[in-house]
Structure 1
Amino acid sequence: MDYHIKSKDPRLHFYAGDYDALVHARKPKGIDDKRAYMIGTGIGALAAGCFLIRDAHMDGSKITYLEQLDLPGGCLDGKVIQNVGYVARGGREMGHHFEVLWDLFHSLPSVEDPNVSVLDHLYYVNKDDPNFSNCRITTNCGKRYDNGKFNLGQKCAMELANFLMMSDESLQDKSIEEIFSDELLNSDFWCYWRTMFAFENWHSALEMKLYMNRFIHHVGGLADLSALQFCRRDQFTDFVTPMINYLKAHNVNFRYGVTVTNVEFEITDEKKAARKIVATDKDGKDISIDLTDNDLCFITNGSMTESSSYGTDSTPAPWNPALGGCWEMWKNIAKQSPEFGHPEKFYSQPEKSKWESCTVTVTDPRITKLVENITKRSPYGGRICTGGIVTAKDSGWLMSWTINRQEQYYGQPENAFEVWVYGLFPDAPGNFVKKPMRECTGHEITAEWLYHIGAPKDQIEELAGTCSAIPVMMPFITSMFMPRAFGDRPYVVPKNAVNFAFLGQFAETLDEPGRDTVFTIEYSGRTAMEAVYILAGVERAVPEVFASRYDIRYLLNAAGEMLDGEKPDLKLPLLVRRKLEKKIKGTDIELLLKEYNII
């Protein structure tokens, strides 16, 4: 390795480049004596099982999943509710530099075409049908607002640049609105950003900084969403199902209806070990599992979609912020050591971590025309339509909506397309439906959406009646964005832990400094790879988070993009400027600065 990428755990190494990426991990010593128990079946847990089989060469029959629900997949769902319709709680945006995810998905056969990998299929779907948006923001009932630019100006662009230079330590427990000016929080840039990533003003400034650094190479593609890739079908089909198929083909055990309420630990100064999984089955029978050092325990602590509630066309989604199994389990685990995190930092303010989504099924050609007026594309034909979310900037709910490639769900009627709608401000009254989104039925949310895409007011009720819609209230959907400090999330593998790890959005990765971002599938996959490689003794290194923040080319490009191509106003005294110009004249530095329109 040419340079040392720091790790918080000496058992874990990181790499950049192909030397480790292309090597096949050899079988770790002692792996045949080990078993693995996965608490939860979210992306992190499913990925961990795949890494155990592929890279640690564990016999799949020695891996057992314990899941409270009757369906795996965690937050990445997409399904048909009988006699009601299609519903998805959310979706994930994909980027080119999800190194861990692509490392896994190049090994798994695609559901759509088992002759190619998941990665190959996604790659060529997006190669043949590149993603971009023809309209990112609307106002005035469907009129295009955005001009494809951030419209920040020199002052706000400099404010963002200064923000990126702040230390992580200084941003602990700070909110975005404590750091950013009102001018920035009312900018077009912030409208793009907050609706794309679901940031609220009161969310973590530290997470905001991590996001800006993590995706600085994508800045130029954020205004028109050309930086993104989307799968062909719903994400459960395209991303979750290949992992489940792989695990089942290797005889992995799935146990559903299992509620884990605690993991009990033996903790000394030299060692931490999981000793018992406390669990009951769906009938309340104790099915707890005693653990030895050779029993590896992978814990998904916390959940973004816990306590989700569903409405119908005629009923609102009820508000039910009760703590479910994942949170109660983490609370009990955290009581045993301060190193196991502080779950209350994330779950204790559901009014600040909630938003609501709604899946609308459309068949009326009159609505199709309204959509096409905005997107300049047909929602039919299996190709990109919106190219990501469209935000109604003047919506009281700050409503955004998207139409993915159709047929999104296998078996979906040919004349139907699915619209996913979400509102960042579900407590505010709507513009057409004069009440908060959280109090609205599916029919009313559809009516509000139709208003914002330009439906004639006197036709809205009739048009809404041709649709079906399922609203979903999620009290903890952005809980991982709540302001936090170091130590509020447990490390993937805590210090001196020998047989357990934490997975998912509420675990802290082990790179130093931690550079990946939550609310992505990649983050779940990264926690899984780190956990498996340490506990199973896999010798192969983990890919580092793409280092665009350390690449001068991406930084210079981002500066130009944030200013919409305008040169930075470098406030230097004339004599100093001339001296610098003379110093760099004829050098590669001059060429670089000119290439990126800095001078």
Structure 2
Amino acid sequence: MYYSSGNYEAFAHPRKPEGVDHKSAYLIGSGLAALTAACYLVRDGQMKGERIHIFEKDPIPGGACDGYQYDIGYVMRGGREMDNHFEVMWDLLRSIPSLETEGASVLDEYYWLNKADPNYSLCRATEKQGQDAHTDGKFAISDQGALEIMKLFFTPDEQLQDKKITDVFDKEVFSSNFWLYWRTMFAFENWHSALEMKLYLKRYIHHIGGLPDFTALRFTRYNQYESIILPMTCYLKDHGVQFFYETKVTDVQFNIEIGRKQASSITVDHKGQVETIDLTENDLLFMTNGGCVESCTVGAQDKAAGFDPTIKPGNGWDLWRRVAAQDPSFGNPDKFCSKPEESNWESATITTLDDTIPQYIEKICKRDPFSGHTVTGGIVTVKDSSWLLSWTLNRQQQFRDQPKNQLCVWVYGLFSDKPGDYVKKSMRDCTGKEICMEWLYHLGVPTDKIEELAEHSANTVPVMMPYIDAFFMPRAIGDRPDVVPKDAVNFAFLGQFAETPRDTIFTTEYSMRTGMVAVYSLLSIDRGVPEVWGSTYDVRCLIDAAVKLRDGRKLTDMELPFVKKLALKEALRKIEGTDLEKFLKKYNAI
């Protein structure tokens, strides 16, 4: 496997891998990473679909990329934001047929949609019961805070092993709008990994200027299940890929020798019927280890999702523990799943049932929420919420069968253990109705109307996810296994807890990249995996981000000691009349 960039390999079709007709594939899980791996096995690996087997413990595919209507109402556990430089995602989705537009791909309809209806926010944050917090597109960070961010950006990964964000930042960063934007958009907590914070900064340095208003983001037309997962599963089924639902893989065994590691068997439990499948070198195994939505609990309008801090990790974690016990190169799952109090947050899907609540939404987002176009343009954060509540409406309807007079709102709180500001209970102890009441309070709904609207004008389904932020827990090199560990001959790890260079977790792109890397590695496909977008090495992006982070202030406006100011003045004098001076002026640095 190797990396490539540019158009030369982007549009090439690889030759059929040698011996692929004699190989089979077994995939554990049907989340985005596994579905991606299966699609690449079919498209570029040219493996026959009937030789590809996908085992899924749930009755439907998709993993964390969900969006379903249950008897208790519509449920979206999370949301996914995309950008134009998700290179693997676009490489694959150009080959997945649209379910709605004949002759078009999923990429085509996504591209057309976001061109016609570009994303941007008109209100990033509120306070004081629905009033605009007037962050006004500003980061409001001091020079000292900006220097702390710059220092982290250039700190080697090796120096950030097991460190927390609080080890590298202080109030100069934590009190800024930058941190408000950052933590709520990406769901970082102060005690999370400084290494992941650094990797995010490097990966998305080209989007710093788009953080205040979300102009950098793109969204699908419907929820992620209907817009991404369904087209991929239809593509796979059309090619004969075998899906086995309500089927758990409870164990994987390996033959491990010096210089060679082979998956030798998997134990499969289908509704109580247990079977062991022996694997040869020609049987490729793709394992989704861990899982951010494992062990989640779903509440209802009149039922709290709850939270049990002693909860045992679910099947994805349990299986990874069994696997990791067999070889050190298979990672350290306990680094991620042993402290659910530090890795949880709670979300809720609020469905409005009449026209009473939408007027309060429109007042904040300044758009007609029923237009079918961009509504909030990303999350609206309630700056003074004890739960640090954020909420969003993507394009409506979010579900194809959703009634046109209803809206689906996604709400989440980073601090699920704190008492609310209106409902004096922790979010985790609140019913759906009570979570809706807290949200309505922060929308600015008069207090004498709140309970009535939450009861009769909305249906709210809460979901507690104990491990949703598990991948942000402080870690060290080796805690996540490589996608294809050294000396592995027939197996790979997939998903957010597998290690692939430079890209960052908690994105659709990361999951899909692990799937592509795994297939290209095990089948030696003669085509490059698209390189991660190189903005971190682009001096234009670096200068642009530095200026925008400081809200447009020039280098000459920096708070510097007298001697350093003199040195800066002399340096600028030396570049007068050069291309370097023109460059710095173009990006408003001087």
TM-score by length of 1: 0.96
**1:213 partner letter:** K
Contact 1:111 1:237 in 2 (8 A): no
Q: For residue 366 of structure 1, report the CA deviation from its aligned partner.
A: 2.5
Cα distance in 2 for residues equivalent to 1:565 and 1:575: 22
Partner of residue 417 from structure 1, selected from 407, 414, 430: 407
Contact 1:67 1:256 in 2 (8 A): yes
Aligned to 1:545: 532
Contact 1:14 1:542 in 2 (8 A): yes
Cα distance in 2 for residues equivalent to 1:180 and 1:373: 36
**1:205 partner letter:** A
Q: For residue 573 of structure 1, report the CA deviation from its aligned partner.
A: 4.1
Where do residues 404-483 of structure 1 align in structure 2 (5 Å cutoff)?
Answer: 404-465=394-455, 466-483=457-474
Deviations 1:507-553 (A, max 9, x none): 001xxxx2111000100111011100011120101111111000000
Partner of residue 104 from structure 2, selected from 86, 99, 116: 116
Cα distance in 2 for residues equivalent to 1:426 and 1:364: 28
Contact 2:66 2:224 in 1 (8 A): yes
Residue 2 of structure 2 corresponds to residue 13 of structure 1: yes
Q: For residue 575 of structure 1, report the CA deviation from its aligned partner.
A: 5.1
Cα distance in 2 for residues equivalent to 1:578 and 1:434: 56
Residue 340 of structure 2 corresponds to residue 364 of structure 1: no
Aligned to 1:554: 541
Cα distance in 2 for residues equivalent to 1:533 and 1:589: 42
Deviations 1:542-587 (A, max 9, x none): 1111110000000000011101111134546465334423331221
Residue 523 of structure 2 corresponds to residue 523 of structure 1: no
Cα distance in 2 for residues equivalent to 1:573 and 1:508: 41
Cα distance in 2 for residues equivalent to 1:114 and 1:531: 31
Aligned to 2:494: 503
Cα distance in 2 for residues equivalent to 1:567 and 1:525: 39
Alignment RMSD, CA only?
A: 1.1
**1:349 partner letter:** K
Change (3 A) 1:584 1:445: same
Where do residues 227-246 of structure 1 align in structure 2 (5 Å cutoff)?
Answer: 227-246=216-235
Cα distance in 1 for residues equivalent to 2:130 and 2:268: 51
**1:299 partner letter:** M
Change (3 A) 1:578 1:368: closer
Q: For residue 410 of structure 1, report the CA deviation from its aligned partner.
A: 1.3
SS at match of 1:267: strand
Aligned to 1:393: 383
Partner of residue 318 from structure 2, selected from 319, 324, 328: 328
Residue 344 of structure 2 corresponds to residue 318 of structure 1: no
Q: For residue 113 of structure 1, report the CA deviation from its aligned partner.
A: 1.6
Cα distance in 2 for residues equivalent to 1:280 and 1:373: 52
Aligned to 1:588: 579
Cα distance in 1 for residues equivalent to 2:13 and 2:282: 24
Partner of residue 95 from structure 2, selected from 89, 107, 110: 107
Partner of residue 306 from structure 1, selected from 283, 294, 297: 294
**1:452 partner letter:** H
Deviations 1:26-60 (A, max 9, x none): 10111111000000001000000000111111111
Cα distance in 2 for residues equivalent to 1:524 and 1:263: 21
Aligned to 2:253: 264
Aligned to 1:197: 186
Partner of residue 152 from structure 1, selected from 120, 141, 146: 141
Deviations 1:375-421 (A, max 9, x none): 00011021110000000010010000001111110111111000100
Aligned to 1:295: 283
Aligned to 1:532: 519
Aligned to 1:5: none
**1:385 partner letter:** V
**1:482 partner letter:** M
Cα distance in 2 for residues equivalent to 1:261 and 1:347: 18
Q: For residue 18 of structure 1, report the CA deviation from its aligned partner.
A: 1.4
Cα distance in 2 for residues equivalent to 1:359 and 1:573: 53
Change (3 A) 1:567 1:463: same
Partner of residue 67 from structure 1, selected from 56, 61, 69: 56
SS at match of 1:468: strand
**1:192 partner letter:** Y
SS at match of 1:537: coil
Where do residues 79-94 of structure 1 align in structure 2 (5 Å cutoff)?
Answer: 79-82=68-71, 84-94=72-82
Identity percentage of aligned residues: 53
Cα distance in 1 for residues equivalent to 2:469 and 2:180: 17
SS at match of 2:357: helix
Cα distance in 1 for residues equivalent to 2:204 and 2:344: 24
SS at match of 1:64: strand
Select between 580-589 and 471-480 the one with higher mean Cα deviation.
580-589
Cα distance in 1 for residues equivalent to 2:565 and 2:248: 69
**2:317 partner letter:** W
Cα distance in 2 for residues equivalent to 1:304 and 1:238: 21
Q: For residue 147 of structure 1, report the CA deviation from its aligned partner.
A: 1.1
Partner of residue 19 from structure 2, selected from 20, 30, 34: 30
Cα distance in 2 for residues equivalent to 1:537 and 1:60: 19
Unpaired runs of 5+ residues, structure 2, are: none
Deviations 1:306-347 (A, max 9, x none): 011111111100325322111110000000000000000000
Select between 138-147 and 104-113 the one with higher mean Cα deviation.
104-113
Contact 1:492 1:507 in 2 (8 A): yes
Cα distance in 1 for residues equivalent to 2:136 and 2:362: 18
Unpaired runs of 5+ residues, structure 1, are: 1-11
Cα distance in 2 for residues equivalent to 1:115 and 1:79: 27
Aligned to 1:177: 166
Cα distance in 2 for residues equivalent to 1:391 and 1:461: 22
**1:172 partner letter:** Q
Cα distance in 2 for residues equivalent to 1:548 and 1:575: 31
Cα distance in 2 for residues equivalent to 1:564 and 1:119: 34
Aligned to 1:6: none
Contact 1:106 1:119 in 2 (8 A): yes
Contact 2:59 2:245 in 1 (8 A): yes
Cα distance in 1 for residues equivalent to 2:306 and 2:132: 34
Partner of residue 97 from structure 1, selected from 74, 85, 88: 85
**1:147 partner letter:** D
Aligned to 1:7: none
**1:532 partner letter:** V
Cα distance in 2 for residues equivalent to 1:153 and 1:214: 23
Q: For residue 159 of structure 1, report the CA deviation from its aligned partner.
A: 1.5
Contact 1:364 1:463 in 2 (8 A): no
**1:464 partner letter:** A
Aligned to 1:141: 129
Select between 147-156 and 396-405 the one with higher mean Cα deviation.
147-156
SS at match of 1:286: strand
Select between 250-259 and 333-342 the one with higher mean Cα deviation.
250-259
